[in-house]
Amino acid sequence: MTDFKNSVFQGRSVLAEKDFTAAELEYLIDFGLHLKALKKAGIPHHYLEGKNVALLFEKSSTRTRSAFTTAAIDLGAHPEFLGAGDIQLGKKESVEDTAKVLGSMFDGIEFRGFKQSSVEQLAEFSGVPVWNGLTDEWHPTQMLADFMTVKENFGHLKGLTLTFMGDGRNNVANSLLVTGAILGVNVHIVAPKELFPSQDIQDIANKFAKDSGADLVITDDLDKGMKGSNVVYTDVWVSMGESNWEERVNLLKPYQVNMAALKKTGTPDDQLIFMHCLPAFHDTTTEYGKEIEEKYGITEMEVTDEVFRSKYARQFEEAENRMHSIKAMMAATLGNLFIPRV
Question: Per CB under 6 A, does 183 bind ligand CP?
Answer: no
Question: Per CB under 6 A, does 230 bind ligand CP?
Answer: no
Q: Is 61 annotated as a binding residue?
A: yes
148, 277, 307, 326: which one contacts ligand NVA (CB under 6 A)?
277
CB of 125 to ligand NVA, least distance (A): 25
* Binding flags for ligand NVA, 221-260, as an x/- string (CB under 6 A): --------------xx--xx--------------------
* 3-state secondary structure labels for all residues of the chain: CCCHHHCCCCCCCECCHHHCCHHHHHHHHHHHHHHHHHHHCCCCCCCCCCCEEEEEECCCCCHHHHHHHHHHHHCCCEEEEEECCCCCECCCECHHHHHHHHHHHCCEEEEECCCHHHHHHHHHHHCCCEEECCCCCCCHHHHHHHHHHHHHHHCCCCCCEEEEECCCCCHHHHHHHHHHHHHCCEEEEECCHHHCCCHHHHHHHHHHHHHHCCCEEEECCHHHHHCCCCEEEECCCCCCCCCCHHHHHHHHHHHCECHHHHHCCCCCHHHCEEEECCCCCCCCCCHHHHHHHHHHCCCCCCECHHHHCCCCECHHHHHHHHHHHHHHHHHHHHCCCCCCCC
Choose the one of ligand NVA, ligand CP, none that binds residue 62, judging by a C-beta under 5 to 8 angstroms depending on kind: ligand CP
Please give the residues from 169 up to 188 whose contact with ligand NVA meets the rule CB under 6 A. 170-172
CB of 277 to ligand CP, least distance (A): 4
Count of residues that interact with ligand NVA, criterion CB under 6 A = 9
Q: Is 186 annotated as a binding residue?
A: no
Please give the residues from 129 up to 148 whose contact with ligand CP meets the rule CB under 6 A. 134, 142
First to last CA, the chain: 21
Query: CA angle 14-18-21, nearest 5°?
Result: 90
Choose the one of ligand CP, ligand NVA, none that binds residue 7, judging by a C-beta under 5 to 8 angstroms depending on kind: none
64, 149, 234, 265: which one contacts ligand CP (CB under 6 A)?
64
Q: Which residues pair with 163 in a beta bridge?
A: 188, 232
Count of residues that interact with ligand CP, criterion CB under 6 A = 8
Query: By CB under 6 A, which span of 29-37, 62-70, 217-225, 254-262 interacts with ligand CP?
Result: 62-70
Question: Per CB under 6 A, does 63 bind ligand CP?
Answer: yes
Question: Per CB under 6 A, does 61 bind ligand CP?
Answer: yes
CB of 71 to ligand NVA, least distance (A): 17
Q: Which residues pair with 130 in a beta bridge?
A: 109
* Active-site residue list: 112, 139, 142, 235, 277, 322
CB of 67 to ligand CP, least distance (A): 8
Question: Which residue's Cβ lies closest to ligand NVA?
Answer: 239
Residues that bind ligand NVA (CB under 6 A): 134, 170-172, 235-236, 239-240, 277
Residues that bind ligand CP (CB under 6 A): 61-64, 134, 142, 277-278
